[in-house]
Amino acid sequence: MNTRPLVIANWKMQFSFSQSLQFCASHKQWLAAKAEMVNIVVCPSFPALHPIAQIFKNSPVSLGAQNCATQHDGPFTGEVSAPMLAQVGTHYCIVGHSERRQLFGETNADVAHKVDQLLQASITPIICIGETQQQYQDKNTLSVLEQQLDSVRAVLSRYPNSSLCIAYEPIWAIGTGLSADTQYLHTVISWIKEYCVAAKLPAEIVYGGSVQPSNIASIAEIPHIGGVLVGSASLDFQKFEKIVSWFHTH
Ligand code: PGA
């Protein structure tokens, strides 16, 4: 299992192709130097994956995709398979992000198929789980997380030695500027850790949802948090630099 803290940059569909390449080319040396100690995973849109893999060739910076197909290959117009991602040098892939679940109808069953495809292709899945605002208010968080984890558990048990990342992202905290309070996060992360131990899942657990330089210390110091998934702050190098540097110096 990877012991470097993970810092995942999820650029969503925010950077253009040229902005993605420019970010990586301009900060290549800095990112590569920090990636010796902090596992930096850059997740651009599909077209930028291959050129960014070239930029980071022979560098410890990792490349991640934001989605993949549920199938291995075939007549699925518009889909990109896990083996294709592996061929262009992708090490990680986000699955089940709440934007995909909510806006594109991705189900727990789809997430399980995607995880299966990724593990077959030796790509580490970053499985996003999290509750909506309503579920949070109704105090249903843990049962929602349990359903989301149960649905991938059978697949994961078929790949006992694979690396795996679980990203806890409360949906109400994504892109809203609200982040979960420390006590709440402590409870939820401990519960996820216990689930993983009981299910024998050797997962890194990361937090995502309005991670910023101003809240990184209070989030990252929570026991069992192995890193963060950063959305909007990862588009601004000054902010991203501060988040990575926090892990580098702690
Ligand atoms: P945010 O996004 O940091 O902008 O809240 C996180 C995510 O969607 O993964």
pLDDT tens by residue, 13-41: 999 999 999 999 999 999 999 999 999 99
Q: Which atom of ligand 1 is nearest to the CA of 234?
A: 3
Query: Which residues sit with their C-beta closer than 6 Å to ligand 1?
Result: 10, 169, 174-175, 208-211, 229-233
Q: What are the percentages of helix, strand and coil residues in the chain, rounded to 5? A: 45, 15, 40
pLDDT lower than 50: segments of the chain: 1
| Cβ atoms 163, 122 nearer than 8 A | no
Q: Which two tokens stand for residue 149?
A: 């984890």
Hey, what amino acid is at 250? H
Helix (H, G, I), strand (E, B) or coil at 78: coil
The single residue of 97, 113, 131, 204 carrying the catalytic annotation is 97
Whether residue 72 lies in the annotated active site: no
For residue range 96-139, list pLDDT tens digits in order: 999 999 999 999 999 999 999 999 999 999 999 999 999 999 99
pTM of the model: 0.96
